[in-house]
A and B are shown apart, each in its own frame.
Chain A
Amino acid sequence: MNCAKIQKLIGPCLDNELSEKQWEAVDAHLKQCAGCLLEYKSLKEISGQIHRLKLNWLEEDNNFSEYWTTLKNKIDSTCQTSLREEFFNLLWESPGIVVAATSFIFWLRMTNPLIQNALNNNYFEYLLKGLGLILRRGI
């Protein structure tokens, strides 16, 4: 293998991600090529230095119970929101409910004289507008 190919394998070599065959090829090349060996050493050093950035957790940060309490509170508050979302999603996404509600209103309208009277006086329009407003705010 030439230097260009080996240089591509230096990273995976440092990360122990080479096959045995590849590793042997890199190893053999590094033994005879000073330039690639230098590259290998410098990348190894950088990789090691970056690893030192791994956090050493201080005592005050290492408090799982505090973390858990905060997380639990957040989960509880999002659960309430998601329940409301689920209700409205169910309402809008299930055509069965919408068809049933429309049929019910239509049936009421056809059969009930009181409703017919209300319709004549535009009471229904106000009621539907009000319901629409409530639903929109709810969403």
Chain B
Amino acid sequence: MDNDFELIKRYLAGEEACFEELVKKYWKQASEIAYHHLGNFEEAKDISQMAFIRVFRSLKNIRFESSFSTWLYRIVVNLCINHQQRSKKTVPLEEVEYKLEGVERGVRQENNLKLELLREAIYNLKEPYRQCLILKDIQCLSYKEIVNILGCPIGTVMSRLNFGRKIVKQNLREGEELK
């Protein structure tokens, strides 16, 4: 955390390479959070780049209050929500690239079918539950970080995680029975 702020301070002092270093440190995490929200890798990369542009434009006014990663992830999550609201498209699940990428891009394992079901279950969750599961179970952030990113009380995060996991479990079971 301090290292990130140190990089920002050095960038503001004129060391331009420090911003690149900052991007290098977080571009994968930012892209991955966006990817699990949107289900499309190229869009996810675009969104993460937009987040870095916002960061770049706000660096001069930064107050060094919360950690840089929390700030960045909050921007990414908000951009994803805006993007989804703006496009307002309800893509049929069969057309979601996410599903295909699960086989192409994800862990190449024997039980790809189960992984695919899991992706579907996550993708079908309502936004608040999905956000919490992505940030906790995939990105392994702490409750405190999630609270800072989503701006909701810790009790809400806990109940969303609990409920989200239960829905995923139920959806997985139903999916397995169907297939």
Contacts and interface: CB of A to CB of B under 8 A. Distances in A.
Contacts of B115: 52-53
Contacts of A12: 143, 158
A50 to B, nearest CB: 4
Q: Which of B24, B49, B139, B140 has the most CB of A within 10 A?
A: B49
Contact of B49 (A15, A47, A70): A70
B162 A78 contact: no
A64 B24 contact: yes
Interface residues on A, range: 20 to 34
| Majority SS at the chain A contact face | helix
B28 A57 contact: yes
Given A15-B143, A57-B28, A49 B49 contact: no
Q: Which DSSP category, helix, strand, loop or mixed, fits chain B's interface?
A: helix
Interface size class of B (residues with CB under 8 A): 35 or more
A74 interface: yes
Contacts of B105: 55-56, 58, 61
Interface in B107-155: 107-109, 114-115, 118-119, 122, 133, 136-140, 142-143
A52 B162 CA distance: 18
Given A54-B32, A74-B49, A74-B53, A46 B168 contact: yes
A127 B44 CA distance: 48
B53 A78 contact: yes
A82 interface: yes
13 contacts: A11-B162, A42-B169, A43-B169, A50-B133, A50-B138, A50-B165, A52-B118, A53-B119, A53-B122, A54-B139, A56-B105, A68-B20, A74-B53
